[in-house]
């Protein structure tokens, strides 16, 4: 499952950032990929649709809600958690 989640999340972020999925490395941050707050909101929406999950993300308080968006790796881990929770 983990690899599938990672590939999908990287593809979603690459599409929103307008770059190649290969450039979306785990340690890159949304800012370093040139994503603004609207791109983040669209990314969260695409992730929810792709994995059928609810992502706790409020654009006013992105650091709260428990969904870590500081790096691509953090986003992948958070999505993996949510997918596991949904399956449980």
Partner 1 sequence: MKRVVITGQGTINPLGRDVTETLAAMREGASGIGPLDFRDAERLSVGIGGQVKDFAPEELFDRQELALYDRFTQFALIAAREAVAQSGLEFRDELAARAGVVLGTAGGGVNTWDESYRTVYEAGKNRVHPFTVPRLMNNAAASHISMQFGLRGPGWSVATACASSNHAMGQAFNLVRAGGAPVMLAGGAEAMLCFGGVKAWEGLRVMSREACRPFSATRSGMVMGEGAAVFVFEELEHARARGAEILAEVVGFAMTSDAADIVVPSRAGAARAIAGALADGGLAPQDVGYINAHGTGTRANDRTECAAIADVFGAAADDLMISSTKSMHGHLIGATGAVELLACIMALGEGVIAPTIGFEAPDPECPLDVVPNVAREAEVSAVLSNAFAFGGLNAVLALRKAP
Residues that bind partner 1 (CB under 8 A): 37-38, 41, 44-45, 54, 57-61
Asked if residues 48 and 40 have their Cβ atoms less than 8 Å apart, the reply is no
Query: Looking at beta carbons only, is 26 or 66 nearer to partner 1?
Result: 66
For the CB of residue 76, give the shortest distance to partner 1 in the complex, in Å.
20
> Of the two residues 23 and 42, which places its CB atom closer to partner 1 in the complex?
42
Q: Please, are residues 11 and 42 in contact by the beta-carbon 8 Å criterion? A: no
Q: What angle do CA 75, 8, 33 make, to 5 degrees?
A: 55
By beta-carbon proximity to partner 1, the closer residue of 6 and 47 is 47
Nearest to 25 by CA among 36, 39, 14, 41: 14
CB of 52: closest distance to partner 1 in angstroms? 15
Kindly state the smallest distance separating residue 23's Cβ from partner 1, in Å. 25
């Amino acid at each position: 499952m983990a690899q599938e989640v990672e590939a999908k999340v990287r593809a979603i972020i690459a599409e929103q950032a307008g770059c190649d999925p290969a450039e979306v490395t785990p340690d890159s941050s949304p800012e370093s990929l040139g994503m603004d707050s609207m791109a983040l909101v669209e990314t969260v929406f695409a992730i929810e649709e792709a994995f059928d999950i609810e992502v706790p993300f409020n654009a006013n308080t992105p650091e709260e809600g428990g969904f870590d968006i500081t790096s691509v790796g953090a986003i992948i881990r958070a999505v993996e958690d949510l997918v596991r929770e949904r399956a449980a």
